[in-house]
Amino acid sequence: MKKWLTGLSIASSMLVLGACGGGDDSGEDTGNAENQQESQEQTASGSGEEGGQSAQSGGEGQQEMPEPDMEGVPDVVAEVNGEEVTKDEFQQTYESQFQQAAMQQQMSGEEVNQDELKKQVADGMVSQELLIQETENRGIEASEDEVNKTLDDIVKQNQMESQDEFFTAMEEQGMKKDDVMSQLETQVKMDQLIAEETGDIEPSDDELKEIYDQQKEQMSQMQGEEGGSEMPSFDEMKPQLKEQVVMQKESEAAQTLAEDLKEKSDVTVNL
């Protein structure tokens, strides 16, 4: 739920997760777009401390969850055209991404390189700030109707009864209603910005079929000789596949725009 507000949906998947994953644009990443989004939701749903405690309780044989190291992080992590990315803002994002990286570490056995992760998260936050500034430079506005529609979508996706229930849940996580609405407005502007960059995205059946075949092959390899549940047909999967392709192309457009903006902006990263 919180990912919609702190991550600005498109910006988060393309910048923070994209940076931490090495920015690979392979077909496999495209096919896993939904999995990335689900992983991000799980990461954002609780604090790093709570996630660490949960992971440590998984059994004696499980590797102990490491702690995020904020030692040496300056009060101002980055400056973007005069706007500061503060240590508090950085810490909130970093701890969330560190939790996800640490969970992956437990599965892979590879140690989290915190210095590298900090640089990637800082770079993602710089890119996000550049995109927010670009919405202002282009005079992009978010109408009340558009913000309310986005809010209704979030309420529905989180299977809640009403906007009031959503705001109550956010207040329990420490976010006031005014802050929530401000970030929703920013998200709507960001969505419009990326839409200007991509235009209408209409994936072809060939594109969708290629992703479907990749996922089918991956599923077959994971199940091995033992077999398992059968993958739904291409027609059944088509809406989901289309959503994955659209998300991937939006992410690529946002990443390209952020890199272009970075080249002509005054950016200082203090890590």
30 has pLDDT over 90: no
pLDDT, position 62: 54
pLDDT, position 56: 44
Phi/psi of residue 153, each to 5°?
Answer: -60, -40
pLDDT digits (tens, 9 = 90+) for 227-265: 667 889 999 999 999 999 998 899 899 999 999 999 999
Phi/psi of residue 269, each to 5°?
Answer: -110, 125
Phi/psi of residue 29, each to 5°?
Answer: -65, -40
State if pTM tops 0.75.
no
33 has pLDDT over 50: no
pLDDT, position 31: 38
In this prediction, residue 180 has a pLDDT band, given cuts at 50, 70 and 90, of confident
Q: Does residue 63 sit in helix, strand or coil? A: coil
pLDDT digits (tens, 9 = 90+) for 87-97: 999 998 898 88
- For the ranges 56-70, 173-187, 235-249, the maximum mean pLDDT occurs at 235-249
- For the ranges 4-8, 139-143, 176-180, 215-219, the maximum mean pLDDT occurs at 139-143
Q: For all residues of the chain together, what is the average pLDDT?
A: 79
Tokens 């005079």 locate to 139
Write the CB contacts of 47 (distance below 8 Å, at least 6 apart in sequence): 95
Average pLDDT over residues 167-195: 89
Write the CB contacts of 93 (distance below 8 Å, at least 6 apart in sequence): 6, 16, 121, 124, 125
pLDDT digits (tens, 9 = 90+) for 125-174: 999 999 999 999 999 999 999 999 989 988 888 888 999 998 998 888 88
Gap between the Cα atoms of 77 and 91, Å rounded: 10
Residue 159 and residue 131 in contact, taking contact as beta carbons nearer than 8 Å: no
C-alpha distances (whole Å) from 101 to each of 19, 20, 31, 222, 264 are 12, 8, 20, 22, 32
